[in-house]
Structure 1
Amino acid sequence: MRWIVRPPDLAAASRLSAEAKVSPLIAHLLAQRGITSAEQAQLFLSPSLSHLHSPYLMLGMNKAVERLRAAIAGKETVLIYGDYDVDGTLAVVILKTAIEICGGTADFHVPHRIKDGYGMKSDVIEQAAATDVRLIISVDTGIRAFAAAETAHRVGVDLIVTDHHLPEVGEIPQAVAVLNPNQPGCGYPCKELCGAGVAFKLAQALLEGAGHERLLPSFIKMVAIATIADAVPLTGENRVLAKLGLEGLRKPVNVGLKALFEVASVGRNGSAPSASDVAFRIAPRLNAAGRMDVANDVIALFTIREMTQAQEISAKLNQLNAERQNEEARIVKEIQERLDGDAAQREPYCLVLDGDNWHRGVIGIVATRVVERYGRPTLVLAHDAESGEAYGSGRSIPGFHLLQALEQPDCRKLFTRFGGHAHAVGFSLPGESIPELRARMEEYTHRHLTLADLEPTLEVDLEIKLEQISLDLCRELQQLEPFGQGNREPLLAVRNVLLQQPPKLLKEKHLKLRVAAGNGRNQGYDALGWRMAERTQSEGLIAGERLDLAFTLEENQHPDFGGPQMILRDFT
């Protein structure tokens, strides 16, 4: 892996430090993030509710609010059509709750990942119409649901689409209103809202219009979870939502949140959960419902009032997550054995991997693991033996727009359906078309990528001395939280440190190093490397070696052995 040490702009950092009254270190890191004025620094470090954009800046909002208010006034039952991931289910919770607070009635439909697949289906709309539903609002889905939109029009159902996925070029489904900051002609400032974020903007307009704006912070807690879980950039309005929401989650009121936090071991010391807590503890358990069973459990968890029921659902989600982890590990192992055992299968610029008996609910996570290990855009497909269809999920590398690759004419003709973003896609196609998909993707990636693009790189923000690591440094860096896409955790590096002890393996897959500066007689520091056990075994690290470490820094809050802790990203 190649390290790129970002050169400091000393003049810009010095000026920002003086104007914004922040430390030179924070000024340096802010400048690297393109923040050059005191006003920008204030917005970044101390976002507030006043920094939320008006929902009416979003194209279609006036029509959407007008139709929804009419439904509430007319005592219509509104059907919310969601998706089965965290983003989609929390979007349902947000909009359903807002409608009910404003005096309306809302039901919902969330498809089953395996039985129904992704997206809006005409038969669901027809069934809704048969029960006298006259308004359907999609959340986190619908921007490419042209057939479903035509069905809604045919059966006399009004449709409001709220979505954040990229639309077809030049095409928008027929609807009363389409809310999507990425649609042509929409000037909404934050293009990177997640699906729950778009649904929240509709809820915000509805609540503010009804005099319930004081309730917005409660909704923002849910938006924060969805925003982090969906891995959208934590910049602009997304940063406002994530930071305020995480702080609000310090004291959860919702019984579902309380039960989930307990089973996930989050927030036990009264501290606000971090973005990492949400991404690696909360979101996987919520996603497990839609991946392994039915996503309706997530909506039930956050809408019931009895703690006993909430605890039962949380325990079920915890068990489903354990099953998801086992299934993910099984498939990843099979893929690694396949690729590591045959160098020719690792050579393609885009890895297109298919298998039998792979659970469709985990192939997206598997694709992420493959990208992390092999550094190539990856499509992972699971065969359905009954239908002959293959269902796929893809993840990309920085700088390669995966959805655009699927949209090329030679590829798109192969798909039954597809959609997504630059970095993540979902699709299905006849299993017999996989060889052609593999060939088309290889041709496309060879035209748009070079071998240098496939070489993994690390951007190091700052080189420091080992003895500079302290709790004060940890807490200074925490000012930049929440970390995630678009605001990655500062990556630090130390050079020529001594490995004091032989490496330790944790749970047979993680690595722990004890290092010190100089001759090794100085204070030792722990460095943890998640999923790095295999690497240290292959490289044969021994005590007394000199190492360069690239790492992030976090605070271990254990009462007995807490303190600053390095989380390894690489070592040489």
Structure 2
Amino acid sequence: MPAKPAVPRRSWELLSSDETAATSLAKHLGCPGAIARLLVTRGIGDAEAADRFFGPSLDQLDDPMRMLGMAEAMARIQQAVQDGEPILIYGDYDVDGTTATVLLKTAIERIAPKDKPARVTWHVPHRIREGYGMQTNVLGRAAEDGIRLIISVDTGIRAFAAATEAKLLGLDLIVTDHHLPDDAIGVPEALAVINPAQEGCPYPFKSLCGAGVAFKLAHALLAAAAETEEQRERLQRVILPSFLKLVAIATVADSVPLVGENRVIAALGLHELRNPVQPGLRALMEVAKLPLDRAPSATEIGFRLAPRINAAGRMDVADDVIELFLTRDSARAKELAEKLDLLNQDRRATEADALDAIEKQLDALRTPDGDYPRDCIILDDPAWHRGVLGILASRVVDRTGRPALILTHEEGQAHGSGRSVEGFHLLDALTAVDAQPDAEFAGGVFTRFGGHAHAVGFSMPSHFVGSLRARMLAYTSTALTPTLLSPPLACDAELDLDEITPAFWEWLGQCGPFGNAHPEPIFVTKNLQLAAPARLIKEKHICLDVMQNNRLPRFNVLGWSRNTNWVARCHKLNLQQGSSVDIAYRIKENQHPQFGGLQLELVELEPA
């Protein structure tokens, strides 16, 4: 998609910190002052909190038995294992759902006696044929096959029809999920519902991903099965850290807040991903060109590993992912990993074709001043592949600074995904829109919907799309304020260039992993001089060579024209050698063997 300036220029807001606390923290840690100020602005204001932050450990994970429904779920699973009952895990087709399926299946098989292996199968829905959520016909087939216990992972919190059907079929249903319940109805009637977001659950951390919730159940089962001191020690030293590899991948991929328990999970799990032994995980990291001699970053997981896992559910069947992470056959693992890599290439091509059409639709929405209406962007086209709708919605949000709903049509039904901007609760918006009458009719528009504040999925009759547009326009007219659409750019600290050293970079790395709610820090440096004319990279990106006070060090500043046309911006500002600028940026490391080193990634640029 061509990058054109769309989002209004933002003011810069330098976050304030308690200087006394920052000075004390810098002294305690022996870290640069800017690192201490960064920590204080993010709520890490004393020595104890900083020590926990820089020393994540399993001890910082809360007791899974605090979750509502955990005891009932454990008792039923233990009974099924003891009696040799077949168990069906009902998963989902994305990274979160597939890894959760693998985690729980592995845990249940581990607690079974060696002379009586657990009988655990799984079902992951086909995105196109079945769609998201639990389907009653799948439960019927499971009952016919003799299954009496079904455990959902990363789905089920709004599966009221499925829960009713399970009861009629004589099935025991355990729901494990992290999506938000329906406040008006509550949770499905099941043997147990494990979801920290449900009303009445005392578990203190509410933002786990689906695999994180499944891991809590797995942890509880494994801990209960560890009877000797040796077994308990091995659980802590070997088994749980091994499980956290997949939980970390899901935590990063699902964009849950990387704070609190999620940050502990991500930090420990990414550390364990150094030189993985499991053939499938190793093969997938190899095709994704991730190094095997160090822990991958959250960015590498999010942009290189997760898309290949998701490609199976988007373009084909997600069962391949589960087989990949369960197989012990290196040749089969390589075959499956290469298949996922090819599917990801197909996904990228499909996405690129759709983005061309989206660009035309977005151009038609522009106001006379070149901006977009203060509204939720709703685009639809029957040619778009259902598997890439969520990605397309994210691209539109990045492109426009507006929440977006992207739909396609099949046989009279519209299927859609949505993504939002910070501060606009998209699931609340869909809930309100569904209940809001309009001139066309008074009923709800959605056949089904669910999700989070930032991401939703839904389906509806195609002829209701007009009502969706009208209702969303009415809702956003008051809910989407100018401040939400053009918030100030939050900058973490002001630096001089000579503060950006290898030691500073090492401290910054220890502050990760970065992600949702704990983003990569944005720094500001003012009154920089261009030491050379701006250089074009591939005709659309920009590279600036900057100095401060006309003295060393010099840094390359790279402006990637994805959402901002930096070439046009630099031309408009008439930047030349010697021009003075203020920049907001992230610090990056170029690992090229000849031209590597620290460099700056441009976020905003203004004349000094």
> Please, which of 56, 63, 70 is the counterpart of residue 47 of structure 1?
56
Partner of 1:313: 336
Q: Please tell me whether residue 393 in structure 1 is matched to residue 393 in structure 2.
A: no
Q: Are 1:511 and 1:533, in contact at CA under 8 Å, matched by a contact in 2?
A: no
Which stretches in structure 2 are left out of the alignment for 5+ residues? 1-8, 113-117, 438-442
The whole-number CA distance in structure 2 between the counterparts of 1:507 and 1:289 is 32
- For 2:558, give the aligned amino acid: L
- The one of the two structures with greater contact order (alpha-carbon pairs below 8 A, sep at least 6) is 2
Partner of 1:468: 499
Partner of 1:442: 473
Shift of 1:468: 2.6
> Please, which of 375, 380, 384 is the counterpart of residue 349 of structure 1?
375
Q: Kindly provide the CA deviation profile for residues 117-137 of structure 1, in whole angstroms up to 9, marking residues without a partner as x.
A: 000000000000000001000
Structure 1 stretch displaced more, 526-535 or 202-211: 526-535
> Please, which of 272, 280, 293 is the counterpart of residue 256 of structure 1?
280
When residues 570 and 154 of structure 1 are mapped into structure 2, their CA distance, relative to the original with a 3 A threshold, is same
When residues 107 and 21 of structure 1 are mapped into structure 2, their CA distance, relative to the original with a 3 A threshold, is same
> Please, which of 540, 543, 548 is the counterpart of residue 512 of structure 1?
543
Aligned-partner SS, 1:399: coil
Shift of 1:464: 1.2
Count of paired positions: 568
Partner of 1:536: 566
Q: Please tell me whether residue 524 in structure 1 is matched to residue 554 in structure 2.
A: yes
When residues 36 and 144 of structure 1 are mapped into structure 2, their CA distance, relative to the original with a 3 A threshold, is same
The whole-number CA distance in structure 2 between the counterparts of 1:149 and 1:358 is 32
Which stretches in structure 1 are left out of the alignment for 5+ residues? none
- For 1:363, give the aligned amino acid: L
Q: Are 1:512 and 1:526, in contact at CA under 8 Å, matched by a contact in 2?
A: yes
The whole-number CA distance in structure 1 between the counterparts of 2:365 and 2:533 is 32
Aligned-partner SS, 1:175: coil
When residues 90 and 504 of structure 1 are mapped into structure 2, their CA distance, relative to the original with a 3 A threshold, is farther
The whole-number CA distance in structure 2 between the counterparts of 1:337 and 1:468 is 45
Partner of 1:156: 170
The whole-number CA distance in structure 2 between the counterparts of 1:522 and 1:25 is 20
> Please, which of 369, 372, 391 is the counterpart of residue 365 of structure 1?
391
Shift of 1:38: 1.6
The whole-number CA distance in structure 2 between the counterparts of 1:478 and 1:389 is 47
Aligned-partner SS, 1:200: helix
> Please, which of 318, 332, 337 is the counterpart of residue 355 of structure 2?
332
> Please, which of 54, 70, 83 is the counterpart of residue 61 of structure 1?
70
Q: Which residues in structure 2 correspond to 1:121-270 (within 5 Å)?
A: 121-169=135-183, 170-211=185-226, 213-214=235-236, 215-268=239-292, 270=293
Partner of 1:490: 521
The whole-number CA distance in structure 2 between the counterparts of 1:332 and 1:4 is 33
Partner of 2:38: 29
The whole-number CA distance in structure 1 between the counterparts of 2:223 and 2:362 is 55
Q: Are 1:351 and 1:376, in contact at CA under 8 Å, matched by a contact in 2?
A: yes
Q: Kindly provide the CA deviation profile for residues 230-272 of structure 1, in whole angstroms up to 9, marking residues without a partner as x.
A: 000011111111000001111211111111111111124x111
- For 2:288, give the aligned amino acid: A
Partner of 1:109: 123
Shift of 1:320: 1.2
Q: Are 2:255 and 2:516, in contact at CA under 8 Å, matched by a contact in 1?
A: yes
When residues 18 and 309 of structure 1 are mapped into structure 2, their CA distance, relative to the original with a 3 A threshold, is same
| Aligned-pair Cα RMSD in Å | 1.8
Q: Please tell me whether residue 322 in structure 1 is matched to residue 336 in structure 2.
A: no
Shift of 1:554: 2.1
Q: Please tell me whether residue 94 in structure 1 is matched to residue 103 in structure 2.
A: yes
When residues 300 and 504 of structure 1 are mapped into structure 2, their CA distance, relative to the original with a 3 A threshold, is farther
Q: Identical aligned pairs, as a percentage?
A: 51
Q: Are 2:249 and 2:306, in contact at CA under 8 Å, matched by a contact in 1?
A: yes
- For 1:560, give the aligned amino acid: Q
The whole-number CA distance in structure 1 between the counterparts of 2:598 and 2:567 is 26
Q: Are 2:541 and 2:566, in contact at CA under 8 Å, matched by a contact in 1?
A: no
Q: Are 1:90 and 1:223, in contact at CA under 8 Å, matched by a contact in 2?
A: yes
- For 1:364, give the aligned amino acid: G
Aligned-partner SS, 2:565: helix
Per the normalisation by structure 1, the TM-score is 0.95
The whole-number CA distance in structure 1 between the counterparts of 2:153 and 2:503 is 43
Q: Are 1:510 and 1:533, in contact at CA under 8 Å, matched by a contact in 2?
A: no
When residues 158 and 510 of structure 1 are mapped into structure 2, their CA distance, relative to the original with a 3 A threshold, is farther
- For 1:199, give the aligned amino acid: A
Shift of 1:144: 0.2
Shift of 1:368: 0.9
